[in-house]
Amino acid sequence: MTTVTEERAAAGVEVRDVHKWYGTHHVLDGVSLTVRPGEVTAVIGPSGSGKSTLLRVINHLERPESGHVSVGGELVGVRRHGDRLKELGERALLTQRGRIGFVFQNFNLFPHLTVLDNVAAAPVATGRLRKPAARELARTLLGQVGLADKSTAYPRQLSGGQQQRVAIARALALRPGVILFDEPTSALDPELVGEVLDVVKDLAGSGTTLVIVTHEIGFAREVADRVVFLDRGRVVEQGTPAQVLDDPREGRTREFLSRVL
Amino acid sequence: MTEPLTTAAPPGAVSQADPGPPSLVAVPAPPRRVLPRRHPGRWITTAVVLVLVAQVLHGLVTNRFFAWDRFAYWSVRPVILDGLLITLEVTALAAVLGLLGGIALALARLSANPVLRAASWTYVWLFRSVPLIVVLLFLYNFSALYHTLSLGIPFGPAFVRFDESRLASDLVIAVVGLSLNEAAYAAKVVRAGILSVDQGQHEAAAALGLPKGYQFGRIVFPQALRAIVPSYVNQLIGLVKGTSLVFYVSLLDLFGSVQSMGSTYPGDIVPLLLVATAWYVLLTSVVSVVQFYVERHFSRGALRTLPPTPLRKARANLRALRARIAREAAI
The pLDDT of residue B92 is above 50: yes
Task: Nearest by CB to B212, from A90, A97, A100: name it.
Answer: A90
Q: Is the Cβ of A121 closer than 8 Å to some Cβ of chain B?
A: yes
Q: Is the Cβ of A155 closer than 8 Å to some Cβ of chain B?
A: yes
Q: Is the Cβ of A88 closer than 8 Å to some Cβ of chain B?
A: no
Look at residues B119, B125, B106 and name the one whose alpha carbon lies nearest to residue B191: B106
Range with the poorest average pLDDT among A16-20, B16-20, B212-216, B296-300: B16-20
Mutate to test the interface with B, among A71, A76, A94 (most CBs of B within 10 A): A94
Ramachandran region of residue A16, left (φ > 0), alpha (ψ -120 to 50) or beta?
Answer: beta
Q: Is B206's CB within 8 Å of A97's CB?
A: yes
The gap between the terminal CA atoms of chain A, to the nearest Å, is 32
Task: Nearest by CB to B301, from A98, A102, A154: name it.
Answer: A154
The reported pLDDT for the residue numbered B21 is 67
Q: Residue B179: which pLDDT band, with cuts at 50, 70 and 90? A: very high
Q: Which tens digit of pLDDT belongs to each residue from A212-228? A: 999 999 999 999 999 99
Residue with the bigger pLDDT between B128 and A3: it is B128
Q: Residue B221: which pLDDT band, with cuts at 50, 70 and 90? A: very high
Q: What is the mean pLDDT of chain A?
A: 92
Mean pLDDT, residues A173-184 taken together: 94
The reported pLDDT for the residue numbered B7 is 46
- Rounded-to-integer distance, Cα B162 and Cα B167, Å: 7
Q: Is B209's CB within 8 Å of A113's CB?
A: no
Mean pLDDT, residues B298-314 taken together: 82
Q: Is the Cβ of B223 closer than 8 Å to some Cβ of chain A?
A: yes
Which residues from A are below 8 Å from B196, CB to CB?
Answer: none
The reported pLDDT for the residue numbered A54 is 96
Q: Which tens digit of pLDDT belongs to each residue from B231-271? A: 999 999 999 999 999 888 888 899 999 999 999 999 899 99
| Cα-to-chain-centroid distance, residue A115 | 20
Q: Is B218's CB within 8 Å of A96's CB?
A: no
* Count of all residues that appear for chain B in the document: 331
The reported pLDDT for the residue numbered B264 is 93
The reported pLDDT for the residue numbered B151 is 64
The reported pLDDT for the residue numbered A121 is 96
Q: Name the minimum distance, in Å, from the CA of B317 to any CA of chain A.
A: 26
The residues, any chain, with a CB within 8 Å of residue A161's CB and separated by 6 or more, are: A188, A189, A192, A193, A195, A196
Q: Name the minimum distance, in Å, from the CA of A232 to any CA of chain B.
A: 25
Which residues from A are below 8 Å from B206, CB to CB?
Answer: 61, 94, 97
- Rounded-to-integer distance, Cα A183 and Cα A103, Å: 8
Phi and psi at residue A74, in whole multiples of 5°? -115, 130
The reported pLDDT for the residue numbered A4 is 41
Which residues from A are below 8 Å from B198, CB to CB?
Answer: 108
